[in-house]
Amino acid sequence: MTSTPSSELAPMTTSLPLRGRALLLALLALAVLPLPALAAGENYGRLSGYVYDPTGTPLSEVPLTLSGPALQQPQERSSGEDGRYEFPLVPPGEGYTLEVKVEGFTPIKLTNISVRLGQTTPVDVKLEVFTETQAVATYEITERVNPIINPDSAETGAVVTAEKAASTPVYNQVQTIAQLVAGVGPGNSPSLRGGLSRWGKFYVDGMDTTDVSDGSITATMNYYAVENFEVITGGLDAQYNALGVVQNIVTKTGSNNWTYDATLVLQPAWSAAKTQYASNQPLNTGNLLNSTTRQAETTFYAPLLAFGGPIVKDRLWFYASGQWNFSMREIPLTIKGQQENRPRDTQTKLARLKLTWQPTSRDRVSFAVNVDNNTITNNIGSATTSPEAESRIDRGGYFLIGNYDHSFSDNVLFQLQTGATYKHAYLGPQNDDMNAISHADENDNFFTTGSSGSLSSSIAGNYSTEDKWRFQFDPTVLVKAGAHQMKGGVQLGYLMGTLNVGTTGNYRYTDKGGICNPEDPSTFGYCNTRAAFYGSNDVLGSNTTSGAVAQLGAFVQDRWTVNRQLTLIAGLRADVGRLYGDDGAFVTNLVGIGPRVSATYDLTNDRKTLLKAHYGRSNEVGDVFIAQRANPDIQRYTATFNPAAGAFPDCGPGTPLANNVCTRSGGANGRSFASTHTPTSVDEVSLGLHREVSQGVVLGTDLTYRRYNNMWVDEEINQIWDATGTRVIGNVNGTAGEVFLIHNPDSAWRDYKGVDLWAQGKLGGWDLLASYTLGFNNGTVASYFDGYGSNPRTQYLFEGPTPDDIRHTLKGAINYATSFGLDFGVRMRYLTGTPLWQYQSLTSPNATNLYRSPRGTGYTVNRGLANFNDPSTISELRNPDLFVIDAQARYDVGRLFNIKNKFEITAMVVNVLNNTSTTSIIDQYAASNSNYGLSRGRNGGLQAELLLRFRN
C-alpha cells in the first residue's frame, strides 16, 4: 500500500523587463519538463530501518504500519529485498507507533518514536517466532528511539521543536531560534562560520521566503504557529544552495481535532531594570549618570491567538493565528543641557492562515498566507535631532505559499512548492510633512530641526520607500530504486525591487548659529550651505531605481544505502542568475556548479556511533542588492551662500562646478560591472563524530573548514596614489574623480577554521542543547563593497581577522521538567570580543576610511595621540567579551484544578545578572576631539516578562 503524505499582490510600480519576461517564460517552460526533483526546503522527516528474523536474517515483504497524532491517516510500507523499509514523508512530531504483524511471528508495536524535521529516525525491527505459550494479543514493546543520530545525511545543525522553544527563555520571534545552534552567530540575522549574515536562507513550509536583498525573512510570523524550527549549518544536501545558515520553518496544520492556543505577554515598566544612561547611546546623555530626571522605562505587551480544526472532517482542515505586539522603549537624551526621555513606540501585527486539503489518500494540498506590519516612531533617537525632525519606520509584507504532494506509488513521490513574497518598507519624517525642509546647525553639533537629516552617510535623502517581490516555483520528485534514494529538480525564482529616495522639500540647509531663511535678510548671518536634490533624470525631486534577478537552479542527488552501516550521498547542482539593473538594463550572468559528496558510517553497527564526512560547494548567483549596485544615486547640488549678493547661487544640472561655489555628488556614481564574473562561492569540508552516550542524549564533534571565494568588490581604477596612500597625484583617464569597477577578484576572500563540541537530547526531565565553538575567521573582505579595492596602496592591510571573528563561543539552552507540572529553562551565552580596526575618516581626496595598520589592530594612543611612525606600538584591538544568562520558570496551573487543558504561567527574566557592560568600542581615531576607545554600545539591562498561556 502507498503511504499518505502529511503535511493579491500589491500593484507593481515597474513592469518586468522585456528580456526578463522572455527569460522567465523560458525558465517556466523548463519547469514543466519531466525532471526528477525534491523540494527546496523540507516539510517532513523520515523513518527507516531493517526488519530481521530471530537469526538476524533480513526479511522482505514485511508489512509495517505507522500511526501517530501528527498523521491524519496511518501510513503503510513493506520491507525490500534487503529487509530495509522507509517512510519518507512523515510530519515531524512525537508519539509515533510502528506496528508489525507477520504470520508466524509475535506481533510488535514500537511506541514513543520521535521524528524530526528533515532528519531520518532509524528504527530496526527484530521479530520473534510466535509460540503457543505466548499471549495471543499483540505483544507491545516500548522503545525510545533517538532521532538525533541521522544516518542518511551529513548535514549539521539542530531541530528545535515548538515545545523546546516554548520552554527556552527567548523572545517570541521565530528569528531568535537559529542562534541557539552551534556555529551560528548572535542576533536575529546571524552569520554562520565565517560567512556574512546576508547569505542566510529562510524557508517557510519548504518555500524560500528569504528577503531578495539582505538575507532576512520577508515577513515575520506568529511564534506559536510554528511546529518545528530546523537549523542547518553545514553538510548541505544538493537541494540547498546557501552560503549561510539555512532556517527551515514548518508551521502547524489543522486536524480532525479542534485546537486552540491563547497567550498574553506582559512586561510592565517596573519589571525592567533602569539606568541613568542610554544603553546604546552613552554619548548623548551628556555624562549625566547621576541625573535626577525620571529614569527611562521599557514596556511590552502582546496578545497571541491560534486555533485550528476541521472544515470537512478527514478532508479539509485549517489553522489560523494572530499576534499584536505593543512595545515602548524610552531613550534618555540630553538636549541643550536638558534631559528628556524620548519614547520609541513599536507596534507589530502578525496574521496567518493555513488550509490543508486531502482529497485522496495519495494527494495533499495546502495553501498559506502570512501578513505582517511593523511601525516604529522616534526611530533616530538622537540628542542632535529635535522631536519634529524625528523619523519613523512603516514596513510590512506577506507571503503566499502553495504545496502539493502526490504519491504515484510507494517508490515515486511528487511535490510542488510555489508562491510569492512581497515586502514594503518606508523610512522618513515622522511628521509626514513632505514639504518640510531640514536645517542642521553647524555651530550646535549639527542639531537638526524642521525635518529629518540624511538617512545615512551613504544615502543623501531623508526618506526612502522600498518594495521587493519574489516569485518561486519548485516542482519536485523523489524516486526509490532498491538501495538508492534519488532526487533532483529545478528551482525557479524571479526577484525584483524598486527603491525611491528623496528629501522633503527637495532642499536641505546647513546653518551657523540659527535658522537660515533665504527670503528673510535678518537670517542671512546664519546661512551657510543649501543642498538641492535631483533625480537621475535631472528633475528636482526624488530618485527611483530598480533591479531584478532571474534565477534557475537544478540538482540531482543519489543516497545509496550500501548496507546497514554505510550510506553514500553524491549530488550535483547548477545555478544560473541573470541580473538586471535600472530600467531593465542587463547587468551580467552568473553561473555556478556545486558538487556535493557525503558519507555516513555507523562505527559500532548499533546506531549509536556515527562518523560523517562531507565536501560541498554553494554558489551565490546574485540578488537585488547586487543588481542595483551600479544604479544612479540621487543627485545633490550644494551651493555656498554669497553674503555680498545676499543669496545662494543657483546650483543644479548644467551649472558649472567651480571655485567651490557649487559642488555635486551622487547621480551616475562612476560604477560599472566588469564584462564577466565568477560568482561568490563557498567550499566546505567537514568531518563529524556523533555518539549516543545515553538513551536520548548525543555528544558530537564537528570539524569544519570553509573558504569563501570571489566576494563582490568596488575597485577604484582611475586615481593614482602616492606611496603613502594618502594623496592622489594623478588620474588614469586624465579627469579627476573616482571610477569603480564592480567585480569578484580572487583576492577578495574569507575563510573559517573551527570545531564544534555539542550535546543535544533528553535525559529524564532534562532537555539539552549546548555547545562550545572554537573558530578562526580571517580574510581580506569584511562585507561586500567594504572599501577593499578603493586604494591599492593600503590594500595589503585588509587581510586579517574579520569583524565576526568570535574566537570562543559557549552557549546552552537547558531545560528541566518536573513530574508535577513545573519546568525551568536557562539560556546562557559567552562570546569573546570581536575584532576592531583603527581608522580615520577622510573627506579629501575622497570620502573614505584611512587604515594605517593591519585589519584587527591599531596604534597605541597616548594622551589622545597615536604615533603612526612607530610600528612597535601596533597591537590587537577587540571589543569586550559578552556573558549573558536568561532564565524562566513555567507552571501548569491547570493541574491544581484538574483542568484537562494546559493553563501555563511563565515568568521569564532576560539578562538575569543585569549585565550592562560595554559591548562595542569606538575605533574611529581623530587627532582632536576624538572619542576613540569610548563605549559605542552597551548590553541591555534586565527585563522580565510574564506569559499567560491557555491551550489544549
For residues 127 and 50, is the Cβ–Cβ distance under 8 A?
no
Containing H/E element for 625? helix 624-627
Mean pLDDT of 906-913: 95
Q: Tally DSSP H helices, then E strands, for the chain.
A: 3, 56
Partners of 262 in beta bridges: 305, 950
Mean of all residue pLDDT scores within the chain:
87
- Per-residue pLDDT band at 19 (split at 50, 70, 90): very low
User: Cis peptide leading into 845, omega within 30 of 0?
Assistant: yes
Q: pLDDT at position 233, please?
A: 95
Please tell me the distance from the alpha carbon of residue 104 to that of residue 91, in angstroms, as a whole number: 32
For residues 153 and 237, is the Cβ–Cβ distance under 8 A?
yes
Mean pLDDT of 706-713: 96
* 21 CB neighbour count, 10 Å cutoff: 14
Look at residue 13 and tell me whether its pLDDT is greater than 50.
no
In this predicted model, which residue has the larger pLDDT, 111 or 318? 318
Q: pLDDT at position 292, please?
A: 63
Mean pLDDT of 685-698: 92
- Going from the C-alpha of 382 to that of each of 4, 277, 288, the distances in angstroms are 58, 13, 16
Look at residue 293 and tell me whether its pLDDT is greater than 70.
no
- 178: three-class secondary structure by DSSP: helix
Look at residue 820 and tell me whether its pLDDT is greater than 80.
yes
Q: What superfamily in CATH does domain 156-251 come from?
A: TonB-dependent receptor, plug domain (2.170.130.10)
Closest CA to 41 of 241, 244, 254: 241
Please tell me the distance from the alpha carbon of residue 474 to that of residue 40, in angstroms, as a whole number: 7
Mean pLDDT of 43-51: 85
CATH for 18-142?
A: 2.60.40.1120
- Span 745-799, pLDDT tens digits: 999 999 999 999 999 998 889 999 999 999 999 999 999 999 999 999 999 999 9
Q: Residues 6 or more apart from 11 whose CB is under 8 A from it? A: none
Q: Where do we find the cell 535631532?
A: 385
* Cα–chain center distance at 723: 42
For residues 757 and 771, is the Cβ–Cβ distance under 8 A?
yes
Q: Which amino acid is it at 47?
A: L
Q: pLDDT at position 18, please?
A: 39
Helices within 689-761 (DSSP H only): none
Please tell me the distance from the alpha carbon of residue 649 to that of residue 659, in angstroms, as a whole number: 12
Residues of the chain with CATH 2.60.40.1120: 18-142
- Per-residue pLDDT band at 558 (split at 50, 70, 90): very high
Q: In the 3-class helix/strand/coil scheme, how is 348-368 assigned residue by residue?
A: EEEEEEEEEEEEECCEEEEEE
- Span 595-614, pLDDT tens digits: 999 999 999 988 889 999 99
- Span 395-446, pLDDT tens digits: 999 999 999 999 898 889 999 999 999 999 999 999 889 999 999 999 998 9
For residues 80 and 8, is the Cβ–Cβ distance under 8 A?
no
Look at residue 119 and tell me whether its pLDDT is greater than 90.
no
Q: In the 3-class helix/strand/coil scheme, how is 740-809 assigned residue by residue?
A: EEEECCCCCCEEEEEEEEEEEEEECCEEEEEEEEEEEEEECCCCCCCCCCCCCCCHHHHCEECCCCCCEE
Q: pLDDT at position 661, please?
A: 83
* Cα–chain center distance at 827: 20
Closest CA to 40 of 725, 742, 552: 552
Look at residue 281 and tell me whether its pLDDT is greater than 70.
no
Q: pLDDT at position 643, please?
A: 93
Partners of 92 in beta bridges: none
Q: Quote the cell numbers at residue 917.
A: 557592560
- Span 137-163, pLDDT tens digits: 455 555 555 567 888 889 999 989 899
Mean pLDDT of 640-659: 87
Question: For strand 316-335 and strand 298-312, is the pairing parallel, antiparallel, or unpaired?
Answer: antiparallel
Look at residue 15 and tell me whether its pLDDT is greater than 50.
no
Containing H/E element for 627? helix 624-627
Mean pLDDT of 235-262: 92
Please tell me the distance from the alpha carbon of residue 18 to that of residue 575, in angstroms, as a whole number: 22
Q: Quote the cell numbers at residue 951.
A: 491551550
In this predicted model, which residue has the larger pLDDT, 688 or 272? 688
Burial of 561 (0-12, 13-18, 19+ CB in 10 A): buried
In this predicted model, which residue has the larger pLDDT, 191 or 112? 191
- Any idea what the Cα angle at residue 262 is, between residues 257 and 268, rounded to 5°? 170
**How far is it between the farthest Cα atoms of the chain?**
117
For residues 781 and 725, is the Cβ–Cβ distance under 8 A?
no
For residues 112 and 142, is the Cβ–Cβ distance under 8 A?
yes
- Any idea what the Cα angle at residue 573 is, between residues 572 and 577, rounded to 5°? 160
Residues of the chain with CATH 2.170.130.10: 156-251
